[in-house]
């Protein structure tokens, strides 16, 4: 079973994806970390973030098994990763990696997992929440890991990322026509998880009846 979860930054999709993966005994891939790892590699070697050839080389060389998630999720890489993710050639270079990862089933979360990477995923969920709630969550998350952040600055960054992700020409952030909408604005993580499981089970039950 392949479960594709998409949504904007700090909507809760990553936490949901991890819990669903654990619940169903499936591997999990945060596809956003792929772009952060590429950005980190490019910054480390002094490459410009708009250097397409350098970005593609970095994309072909990354190994998800070696990722330091805490380091990659730092606020300093958010903007850089957003720029790298807008490069069409980079997204193409990562397609095989993502599809190979999920060959035997997986839960993946990102921006285009249900629209581009796995348009035939067994279950698609589009997770969203209001920008203000997402900013509050991300601010709390950053402060908890020792990265001081101001709510106003985080909100402004989220709004910029939303605009960039939704307006880019390569695999823009959007809800797949057959994706189930899950708005977590007024849900805590446990309630959101239960709602996500209900979606998955409803899809599975519908297919079994068919």
Residue-wise pLDDT tens digits, 2-42: 999 999 989 999 999 999 999 999 999 999 999 999 999 99
Q: Are 9 and 82 in contact (CB under 8 A)?
A: no
Rounded distance, CA 90 to CA 75, Å? 21
In tens, the pLDDT along 34-63 reads 999 999 999 999 999 999 999 999 999 999
Above pLDDT 70, what percent of the chain? 99
Which residue ranges make up each domain of the chain? 2-198
In tens, the pLDDT along 162-193 reads 998 898 888 889 999 999 999 999 999 999 99
Superfamily of domain 2-198: P-loop containing nucleotide triphosphate hydrolases (3.40.50.300)
Alpha-helix runs per DSSP H in 62-188? 69-72, 78-85, 88-101, 131-144, 151-167
Q: Are 200 and 121 in contact (CB under 8 A)?
A: no
Dihedral sign, CA of 60, 61, 66, 71?
negative
Q: How many CA atoms lie within 13 A of 95 on its CB side?
A: 13
Q: Any bridge partners for residue 109, and if so which? A: 5, 30
Prediction pTM value: 0.90
Q: Are 189 and 15 in contact (CB under 8 A)?
A: yes
Write phi, then psi, for 19 (nearest 5 degrees): -70, -35
Rounded distance, CA 84 to CA 207, Å? 38
- Pick the residue with more confidence: 163 or 75? 163
Q: What is the DSSP letter of 108?
A: E
Grade residue 74 by pLDDT with cuts at 50, 70 and 90: confident
CA distances to 48, 129, 149, 165 from 139, in Å: 28, 15, 6, 20
Rounded distance, CA 210 to CA 203, Å? 11
Six-digit token string for 126: 């589009």
């Amino acid at each position: 079973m392949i479960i594709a979860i998409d949504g904007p930054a700090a909507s809760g999709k990553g936490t949901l994806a991890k819990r669903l993966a654990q619940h169903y005994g499936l591997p999990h891939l945060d596809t956003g970390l792929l772009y952060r790892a590429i950005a980190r590699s490019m910054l480390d070697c002094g490459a410009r973030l708009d250097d397409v050839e350098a970005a593609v080389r970095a994309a072909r060389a990354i190994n998800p098994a070696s990722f330091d998630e805490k380091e990659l999720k730092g606020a300093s890489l958010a903007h850089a990763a957003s720029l790298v993710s807008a490069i069409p050639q980079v997204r193409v270079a990562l397609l095989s990696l993502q599809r190979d990862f999920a060959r035997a089933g997986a839960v993946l979360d990102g921006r285009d997992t249900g629209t581009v990477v796995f348009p035939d995923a067994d279950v698609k969920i589009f997770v969203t929440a209001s920008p203000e709630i997402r900013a509050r969550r991300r601010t709390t998350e950053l402060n908890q890991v020792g990265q001081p952040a101001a709510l106003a600055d985080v909100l402004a960054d989220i709004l910029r990322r939303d605009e960039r992700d939704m307006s880019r020409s390569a695999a823009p952030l959007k809800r797949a026509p057959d994706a189930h909408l899950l708005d977590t604005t007024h849900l805590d993580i446990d309630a959101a998880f239960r709602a996500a499981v209900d979606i998955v089970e409803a899809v599975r039950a519908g297919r079994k009846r068919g």
